[in-house]
Chain A
């Protein structure tokens, strides 16, 4: 089944404790992206990648890191999480110039 997977789906952590949210797709997509979704603010792009070893900042990159060492994986790293990073995170992927981005199931992160 073609899909985007994210792990973990739910995470409660404390301020300053490094964490990684994994994202993997099995559709051989070049483009991958991370979004966060907050009430009243909608979906905002954090980082994106056009292909392996090619990443760039989105609209809200502060406090986040990403890497793209393999085409299928695009992990999101929070080196020192803070409470304002409490949010619902989505990973998405697509082919280049595609009409549709496919979204993962989401990761709900709470930083205490």
Chain B
């Protein structure tokens, strides 16, 4: 059974600081990695995806992937109160449409 592990939090970060969210996965065959943000009572929305080892930046968000360590992270720079949400890590195998989700990390940005 494929597993995706996240620290459930809550993770509290001061406004303007860097928030670091981590995720590990068990299946070395996983090929694609996704970060979704979910506000309370709302549906998940995609923030970033990454396929290759290294860093991928999009605005204030940076996704980092290390396939050797089976580790993916999300950095949020200049954290804003609007970033307060639960962040879901998800993985997908090559040739398979199924997403396997972690349980999510609840992030709170403190003004």
Contacts and interface: CB of A to CB of B under 8 A. Distances in A.
A in complex with B: yes
Interface of A: 31, 33, 35, 40-45, 48, 50, 58, 90, 94, 96-97, 99-101, 103-106
Contacts, number: 48
Interface of B: 8, 32, 34, 41-46, 49, 88, 97-104
A15 B7 CA distance: 35
Nearest to B6: A42
Q: By CB atoms of chain B within 10 A, which of A50, A58, A101, A105 has the most?
A: A101
Contacts of A31: 97
Given A33-B98, A100-B46, A103-B44, 18 more contacts: A40-B103, A42-B101, A42-B102, A42-B104, A43-B44, A43-B88, A43-B101, A44-B101, A45-B99, A45-B100, A48-B97, A99-B32, A99-B49, A100-B34, A100-B49, A101-B99, A106-B41, A106-B42
Contact of B43 (A50, A58, A97, A106): A106
B106 to A, nearest CB: 11
Contacts of B88: 42-43
A44 to B, nearest CB: 8
A50 B99 contact: no
A105 B44 CA distance: 9
Given A45-B99, A99-B49, A104 B43 contact: yes
Contacts of A33: 97-99
Contacts of A50: 97
Nearest to A58: B98
Contacts of A58: 98
B102 to A, nearest CB: 6
A110 to B, nearest CB: 15
B65 to A, nearest CB: 14
19 contacts: A33-B97, A40-B8, A42-B88, A43-B44, A43-B88, A43-B101, A45-B98, A45-B99, A99-B32, A99-B46, A99-B49, A100-B49, A101-B46, A103-B43, A103-B45, A104-B43, A105-B42, A105-B43, A106-B41
